[in-house]
Amino acid sequence: ELFSSLNYKKGTLRFGLPPSAGSVYFSRVLYLYSKEYDHVDLQIFEEKSKKIEEMVLNDKLDLGVVVEPFHNPKLELKTVFRSEAVLAVSKDHRFADRKEIDFAALKEEPMLAVSKDYMYYDQVILYCQKAGFTPNIVFHSSQWDILLEMAAENQGVTIIGKPLVEKMYSERLNCIHLKNPEFPWGLGVIYKKGRPLTVPMKCFLALCGEDL
């Protein structure tokens, strides 16, 4: 207990956070953590999920956030937030009045997508391929707000985590449930399998996942 207490008071937590994850979920957790454990040196690294995965594997990060679905046999995953990926369309789009839509109906739609270096890009391609087609991607961006703005202007459609639309663009975009296949979307915290958890890591994980 004394050893844990000493580590606790002098600890450091290196935490990887991808774009948009803070606005969806982690802003609250980071605030609570920094307030309750102000003696811990919290170092936040803002990187894409692919880079975060690599840094955790190479012991450059203690914990990192990834977009789910996610699987790596060398990493432990704790799901902290569950939602779904939806089709986001302009209020003027021909699909705007639909509540749900088959993936196959998107075959010819001009698609706005995140950059290829995002882990989520691979997931979008995979789910489209499950439905039997390769998406007609007309624009890539590393910035979610650009994709949402373009979709709101009816310059294409985008497949995106539902919370991102609800928090920022609910008045200008409609969310349509995707089916055949359905597309779960969530956020998880990863750490290296077999690595002993430090006290700062345990404290952070304890704050996560309370409102699944």
Domains parsed from the chain with CATH numbers: 2-81+186-207 (3.40.190.10), 83-185 (3.40.190.290)
State the Cα–Cα distance between residues 37 and 147, nearest whole angstrom: 37
State the Cα–Cα distance between residues 91 and 88, nearest whole angstrom: 9
Instruction: Return all residues near 180 (Cβ < 8 A) that are at least 6 apart.
Output: 102, 103, 104, 131
The answer, yes or no, to whether the previous bond of 69 is cis (omega within 30 of 0) is yes
Cβ-based neighbour number of residue 146 at 10 Å: 14
Contact 185, 24 (CB under 8 A): no
Residue 1 has pLDDT above 70, yes or no: no
pLDDT tens per residue, range 132-159: 999 999 999 988 899 999 999 999 999 9
pLDDT tens per residue, range 79-96: 999 999 999 999 999 999
Q: Give the per-residue pLDDT at 212.
A: 39
pLDDT tens per residue, range 99-128: 999 999 999 999 999 999 888 999 999 999
